[in-house]
Structures are given as structure tokens and as C-alpha cells.
Amino acid sequence: MVFKENPSVYLVTKPAINWSQIANFFIDENVPPIPDSVRAGNDESAAVIEISARMCYMSYGRGRRDITDFINNLLSSKDGSVFEHVNYGFIITGVSRSLTHELVRHRAGFAYSQRSQRYVDETEGTFVIPPALSTTRDATEAARKVLDDALIHASESYVELVNALEKSLPKSIFETNTDRRKAIRQAARSVLPNATETKIFVTANVRALRHFIEMRGAIFADWEIRFLAIEILKLLQEEAPLLFGDFVVEDLGDGTQITYPKYSKV
């Protein structure tokens, strides 16, 4: 059995611009070339937003010259739709099924692919320890024993159920072995707890990510998803500082962190 305490977050996809096509477009439309028409420079995430936003008024080469000022004006005036053109993809592992149940409630602008408990065997028993029971906290031993015993018991029950179903579900009623394995695992997973570890591929646009981080980085959010939201924020602040730089991270007395943006829900 494996116990995990922290998620791993991999930023695996990000926006890319075909600059030669952008240059052709500027020539065809008789507007100033790069760099006059795109003040974002090499910051491709900001450039996608600038190019799409300037399309609305065909204001290439005109208006606000400073890209930070340009982006902040969009954020403060809630011109949110242009932030939907920029997408980031994450592979997230070491998170619990209860976290992903909360995560997938975020619908608009999100896409998900999650490890299947019907196809993938859970015999190994990998579980995520809630932050309140982390080994880094004092005086958690008694509570940890309760949790560990329950997880061990659940994992053993899963294996027992798989073995029992192997005997009781006749091969003759299934077309393929895969169908039979799925039927066994889909029944056996019913004894797995919320703490069961899962892996998920998440793609979302910047508008949706900002809303997710605001909702799940707030003090009201569960500690596990709050930690994840702040991990994602930190990666995005490095990757796209102009799009996420207005979020502030604060340490709390309970050892956790919260985050909130200057520009709420665009």
C-alpha cells in the first residue's frame, strides 16, 4: 500500500503562436507589422490575448502601448472572453477521488480525462492522506491510526471482492475478457474510499483557470484542493505573469495558504 501526501502537477501543454501567419495577416490587413501591432513581445500567452482583443476594434498599432496596462485594463473591465483563447494542460497525480469530484464540478472552459477505476486495477492501494492528517503536523498519530486502519481494511476488501467476483461471475456471460474484468472492477471499486489516489489530465482556458483558482484558493475551500489550486497558480504565475500576477498568496496560522485576485471573476 502507498500513502501520498502531496500532489504532483505537470504543466504539459501551453499556447503557441504561428508568427509568420500573424505577420501575413497584418500585411493583408494593411496594419503595422510586428512588433508595433503586438506589444506583448515573446510572451505568447499575453500575445494571443492582445491579438484577439485588438481584433475587436482593429486597433493594431494604436491604443495602449504598455502590455501590462493593456492586460490589466481587460481584466478590470471584465472583458473575459479574450482570456478563453489561451489554454493550459496539466497532468495531476497524487490527488484523491474526493478532490477530483470537486474539480470536475468546474465545467465552463475545462476538459478532463481521468484514470478509470473500471479499466485500471486498484489492488496496489494508493491513498492520499488529507492535509489535516499529514505527518508534518503534530499530534496526528491517533487520528492517523484510525485512517490508516480504515484504508488498509478498504484495500483488503477490494482485493477480496475482486477474488470473490472472479469465482462468481461466469466467463460465459461476457463477450470478452476485458468486459469481464471491467464488470469485476466496477463492482469491487464500491468499497474504495474518497482517499483513493487518482490521476487526471486537465485542460482549461485562462478565464476558467482564474475562476477555479479564485474559488478553490479561498479560505472556504477544502485544504487539499486549495493546495492544488495554489500549486497550479504558482506554475501559471511563472508561465504567464501578466495573466495571473494579480493573485496574492497568504500564509494562514493553521499552516495552510489562501489566494485571492485583485480582479475577481472576469
Ligand X SMILES: Cc1cc2nc3c(=O)[nH]c(=O)nc-3n(C[C@H](O)[C@H](O)[C@H](O)COP(=O)(O)OP(=O)(O)OC[C@H]3O[C@@H](n4cnc5c(N)ncnc54)[C@H](O)[C@@H]3O)c2cc1C
- The answer to whether 221 contacts ligand X (rule: CB under 6 A) is yes
DSSP letter for 106, please. Answer: -
| Contact in structure between 129 and 5 (CB atoms under 8 Å) | yes
Q: What character string, x for contact with ligand X (CB under 6 A) and - otherwise, covers 22-61? A: ----------------------------------------
| Contact in structure between 87 and 16 (CB atoms under 8 Å) | no
Among the listed residues 54, 97, 181, 216, the single catalytic one is: 216
Q: How many residues bind ligand X (CB under 6 A)?
A: 10
Candidates 3-11, 55-63, 207-215, 237-245; binding stretch for ligand X (CB under 6 A):
207-215
| 108/248 with CB nearer ligand X | 108
**Residue 216 is a catalytic residue:** yes
Site for ligand X in 93-132 (CB under 6 A): 105-108
| 174/201 with CB nearer ligand X | 201
**Sign of the four-CA dihedral 145, 147, 153, 158:** negative
Site for ligand X in 160-199 (CB under 6 A): none
Q: Which three cell numbers stand for residue 192?
A: 474504495
Rounded to an integer, what distance in angstroms lies between the CA atom of residue 51 and that of residue 66? 14
Give the containing element (helix H, strand E) for 200. Answer: strand 197-205
Least distance (Å) from ligand X to the CB of residue 156? 31
- The answer to whether 211 contacts ligand X (rule: CB under 6 A) is yes
78: exposed, middle or buried (C-beta count within 10 Å: 0-12, 13-18, 19+)?
Answer: exposed
Rounded to an integer, what distance in angstroms lies between the CA atom of residue 61 and that of residue 58? 9
How many angstroms separate the most distant Cα atoms in the chain?
74
Least distance (Å) from ligand X to the CB of residue 95? 16
Least distance (Å) from ligand X to the CB of residue 101? 10
Q: Which residues are catalytic?
A: 216
- What are the residues binding ligand X (CB under 6 A)? 105-108, 208, 211, 215-216, 220-221
